[in-house]
Amino acid sequence: MTDEQIDKLHKLNTLRKDGIISEVEFEKQKREILGDKRPVIVSSSGKVIEAKKTGNFTKYLILGIGGFFFIGVIATGVSRLFMTPEELAIEKRQQDSTAKAQAEVEKENDLAKARKDTIIKLYVASKLAIKQSMKNPDSYDEVAHKEYFVIKEKKDLKKRNFPHIQVYIKYRGTNSFNAVVTDEKLFSYDKNMRLLKVE
């Protein structure tokens, strides 16, 4: 503690004794002088409650967890030294199998995302095509829409222009006479996202 801090604390204590500052204000300023960043906790009766320092506990807790982790790593490494070639081969196969399974999951996730992106693009394109065909595109009001992949059956395998994705949109809008009409369209696309037909 520096001489300056001692002098400030002495003056602060005098102010408290003379009743110029409260106990709580004294505690706040004292902690500020000493560089103590803990908050001042006050009881319902107005007395200052001394907060316990938790720094050491946290430090020891982190060291303990780190120590257990380090011991676990060392123990695993040592146990592998005593494994037979067959056990090592089994462990390697398990690791390879896990890695392959993870790669398959990632591949499926990427495929699902690509399919979703494709569906969204074709839905937007279909909606735009409807608006462009309307007399009053601003009157377009969508009622429902559905997009799906079409599953081929054996009889459809030889068909050249078999739809891969279909987008169904039901909508309302005003016609040339300003009357509100409801219509629906079914857009069929091939696997290259080319429009095959609109029904």
Q: How many CB atoms lie within 10 A of CB 37?
A: 7
The whole-number pLDDT of residue 33 equals: 85
What confidence tens digit (pLDDT) does each residue in 124-173 have?
999 999 999 998 999 999 999 999 888 777 666 666 777 889 999 999 99
41 vs 176, which has greater pLDDT? 176
Query: Strands 195-198, 180-189: parallel, antiparallel or unpaired by DSSP?
Result: antiparallel
What confidence tens digit (pLDDT) does each residue in 67-82 have?
777 777 676 666 667 7
Q: CB burial class (10 A; 0-12, 13-18, 19+) of residue 163? A: buried
The whole-number pLDDT of residue 5 equals: 85
The whole-number pLDDT of residue 62 equals: 79
Q: How far apart are CA 174 and CA 184, in angstroms?
A: 14
Nearest to 190 by CA among 155, 168, 165: 165
pLDDT at 21 over 90: no
Average pLDDT, the chain: 83
In the block, which residue shows the tokens 């089994």? 90
Largest CA distance in the chain: 101
pLDDT at 197 over 80: yes
User: 82 is written with which tokens?
Assistant: 């005593």
The whole-number pLDDT of residue 183 equals: 94
Q: Alpha helix locations (H) across 35-158?
A: 55-81, 85-133
Q: What is the mean pLDDT of residues 71-100?
A: 80
Question: Which of 19-23, 125-129, 183-187 bottoms out in mean pLDDT, i.e. has the lowest?
Answer: 19-23
Q: What is the mean pLDDT of residues 174-191?
A: 91
Please list, in sequence order, all residues whose beta carbon lies within 8 angstroms of the beta carbon of residue 51, skipping any fewer than 6 positions away. 38, 39, 41
Give 190-194 contacts, CB < 8 A, sequence gap 24+: 190/161, 190/162, 190/163, 190/164, 191/164, 191/165, 193/118, 193/121, 193/122, 193/165
Q: How far apart are CA 129 and CA 183, in angstroms?
A: 14
pLDDT at 99 over 70: yes
160 vs 63, which has greater pLDDT? 63
Q: What is the mean pLDDT of residues 57-62?
A: 72
The whole-number pLDDT of residue 89 equals: 87
Percent residues over pLDDT 90 in the chain: 28
